[in-house]
């Protein structure tokens, strides 16, 4: 029952379409019909050319992940599995929001917000790999995809190290890499089109 509560809570919070509402109210723009159609910070900035809007979308989307994790942990159960299930479904809700015909963002900011509450090593490693891959190709999507791909694999290799520096410790160690990798796979699912474009360019 607690898992159902956690996933429902996470999905409801995550599905709030920040960029869509913000651009619709402030600019009269349907973000799903402009730029890449992605309902996230990067496309919001590119469509409006406003750093303020881009940063605001980024912060609110990150807050969604943090809030879903925080509420699940403090209101439902002090348990890793409950907390990360809420984050997983917040990311799914963000990526596939039912309020905008199951469109959404790419999930990175929402996942990062949850990682701040659950496990900073996940966030630090993702940022480290993102910087590395961005310096190689100077392409944001290239860096996003490869950094996320590595975070599918690394939790299985460095499980103990990552758990030791996390804020919430799983009762069953194997839960950590399984859930972290699942979140990364959801994020990768929203990078299919950028990946196709990168492969065409190579």
Q: Which of 122, 131, 123, 126 is nearest to 147 (CA)?
A: 126
- Whole-number pLDDT of residue 195: 84
Which structure tokens are listed for 78? 């002090």
- Whole-number pLDDT of residue 197: 84
Alpha helices in the chain (DSSP H): 2-14, 18-27, 41-48, 51-71, 80-95, 108-118, 120-137, 140-157, 159-164, 175-189, 192-201
- Whole-number pLDDT of residue 202: 66
> Which of helix, strand or coil describes residue 166?
coil
Instruction: Give the global pTM.
Output: 0.96
Whole domain around residue 7: which residue ranges?
Answer: 2-201
CA gap 39, 8 in Å, rounded: 21
The low-confidence residues of the chain, meaning pLDDT below 50, are: none
Provide the number of structural domains found in the chain.
1
- Whole-number pLDDT of residue 166: 96
């Amino acid at each position: 029952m607690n898992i159902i509560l956690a996933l429902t809570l996470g999905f409801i919070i995550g599905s709030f379409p920040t960029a869509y509402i913000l651009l619709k109210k402030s600019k009269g723009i349907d973000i799903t019909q402009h730029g890449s159609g992605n309902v996230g910070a990067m496309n919001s900035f590119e469509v409006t050319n406003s750093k303020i809007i881009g940063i605001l979308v980024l912060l609110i989307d990150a807050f969604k992940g943090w809030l879903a994790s925080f509420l699940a942990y403090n209101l439902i159960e002090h348990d890793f599995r409950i907390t990360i299930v809420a984050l997983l479904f917040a990311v799914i809700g963000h990526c596939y929001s039912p309020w905008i015909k199951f469109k959404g963002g790419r999930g990175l900011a929402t996942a990062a917000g949850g990682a701040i509450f659950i496990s900073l090593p996940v966030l630090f490693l993702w940022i480290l790999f993102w910087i590395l891959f961005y310096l190689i190709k100077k392409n944001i999507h290239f860096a996003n995809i490869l950094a996320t791909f590595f975070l599918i694999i690394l939790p299985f290799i460095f499980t103990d190290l990552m758990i030791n520096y996390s804020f919430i410790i799983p009762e069953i160690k194997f839960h950590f890499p399984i859930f972290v990798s699942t979140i990364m796979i959801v994020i990768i699912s929203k990078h299919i089109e950028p990946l196709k474009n990168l492969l065409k360019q190579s």
